């Protein structure tokens, strides 16, 4: 089934205790696409500037990602971000950020994509998310992310977006900020009252939690000994979740629970190296193998 992602494409510089990567391909839509592409064709909707390196475009194209929705805007520059992780890798400081094209008019969904069945609205202004959502009126499943900035500054817009999606995938800090609830189950339940029928809360190295009207599921992260760079883990997670769901006829609790495994595995590969180094040539067989191992680890006989 067709899966569309709207989000950022960036040129990242990342510093971690394990090294540094300069001016590498990044952004939410990129990490999402590299995880989801193993499950279903991915349509990428994003905007870059005219400085976007052709080599980066080739990386996306050669991965089979549909770039008909990738706008290269003349006179604009690509989003750039420089971040440094703390020793425990659980926090990062933004050292420099140039919004560039992200501060301009947002991406447009090409008319040919109006028939898209599955949609992930990665983090951007919620009014923009809502506009993008209206461009895919027949979608079977629409899921969105958000961030602290919009929770603080654009809450009304965010509530309209939440009312128009099937599910949300956000991190623990955002869930707490959004609901004022310290407890994540309570936070998830409050999110369901805002419209979505499921909430997936990401907890970084501590795994994730799925809250639906029927059930709560906690899942640990895949045990990873050598985390090189956590950048993109959350978007890769979303890519694994949505990619898997796009292969499923039903999106009930059982399917959502299975999707957590695919999200967890997708994130686990991304963090093993900087940027897309680990996932760029990742094979589906490697994913399937780790999915089986994670399910086995969780199966107590």
301 binds its own copies (CB under 8 A): yes
Q: What is the smallest separation between the CB atom of 66 and its own copies, expressed in angstroms?
A: 30
Query: Which one, 62 or 182, has the nearer CB to its own copies?
Result: 182
* Per-residue b or e along 59-94, where b marks 16 or more CB atoms closer than 10 Å to that residue's CB: bbeebebbbebbbbbeebbbbbbbbebeeebeeeee
User: x/- contact string, 224-263, with its own copies (CB under 8 A)?
Assistant: xxxx--------------------------x--xx-xx--
Say how many residues make up the chain.
301
Query: Which one, 285 or 299, has the nearer CB to its own copies?
Result: 299
Site for its own copies in 271-300 (CB under 8 A): 295, 297-300
Q: What is the smallest separation between the CB atom of 182 and its own copies, expressed in angstroms?
A: 6
Q: Report how far residue 268's alpha carbon sits from residue 244's, in angstroms, rounded to the nearest whole number.
A: 16
Query: Which one, 114 or 297, has the nearer CB to its own copies?
Result: 297
Site for its own copies in 40-99 (CB under 8 A): 87-89
Site for its own copies in 118-157 (CB under 8 A): none
Query: Segment contacting its own copies (CB under 8 A): 119-127, 158-166, 213-221, 267-275?
Result: 213-221
Query: Segment contacting its own copies (CB under 8 A): 31-39, 102-110, 209-217, 228-236?
Result: 209-217
Query: Which one, 283 or 301, has the nearer CB to its own copies?
Result: 301
Binding site for its own copies (CB under 8 A): 87-89, 182-183, 185-186, 203, 206-207, 209, 216-227, 254, 257-258, 260-261, 295, 297-301
């Amino acid at each position: 089934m067709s899966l569309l992602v709207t989000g950022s494409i960036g040129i990242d510089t990342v510093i971690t205790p394990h090294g540094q990567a300069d001016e590498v391909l990044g952004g939410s839509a990129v990490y999402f696409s590299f995880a989801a592409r193993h499950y279903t064709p991915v349509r990428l909707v994003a905007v870059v500037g005219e400085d976007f390196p052709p080599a980066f475009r080739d990386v996306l194209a050669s991965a089979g990602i549909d770039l008909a929705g990738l706008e290269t805007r003349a006179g604009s520059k690509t989003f750039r971000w420089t971040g440094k992780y703390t020793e425990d890798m659980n926090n990062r400081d933004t050292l420099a950020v140039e919004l560039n094209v992200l501060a301009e008019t947002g991406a447009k969904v090409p008319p040919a994509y109006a028939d898209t069945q599955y949609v992930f609205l990665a983090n951007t202004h919620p009014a923009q998310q809502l506009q993008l959502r209206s461009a895919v009126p027949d979608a079977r499943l629409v899921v969105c992310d958000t961030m602290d900035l919009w929770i603080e500054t654009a809450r009304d817009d965010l509530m309209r977006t939440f009312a128009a999606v099937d599910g949300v995938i956000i991190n623990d800090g955002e869930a707490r900020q959004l609901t004022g609830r310290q407890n994540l189950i309570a936070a998830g339940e409050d999110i369901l009252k805002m419209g979505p029928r499921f909430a997936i809360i990401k907890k970084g190295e501590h795994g994730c939690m799925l809250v639906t009207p029927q059930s709560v599921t906690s899942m640990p992260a895949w045990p990873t000994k050598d985390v090189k760079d956590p950048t993109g883990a959350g978007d890769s997670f979303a890519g694994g979740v949505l990619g898997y769901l796009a292969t499923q006829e039903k999106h009930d609790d059982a399917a959502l629970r299975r999707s957590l495994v695919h999200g967890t595995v997708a994130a686990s590969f991304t963090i093993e190296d900087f940027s897309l180094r680990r996932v760029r040539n990742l094979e589906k067989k490697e994913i399937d193998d780790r999915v089986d191992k994670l399910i086995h680890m969780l199966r107590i006989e």
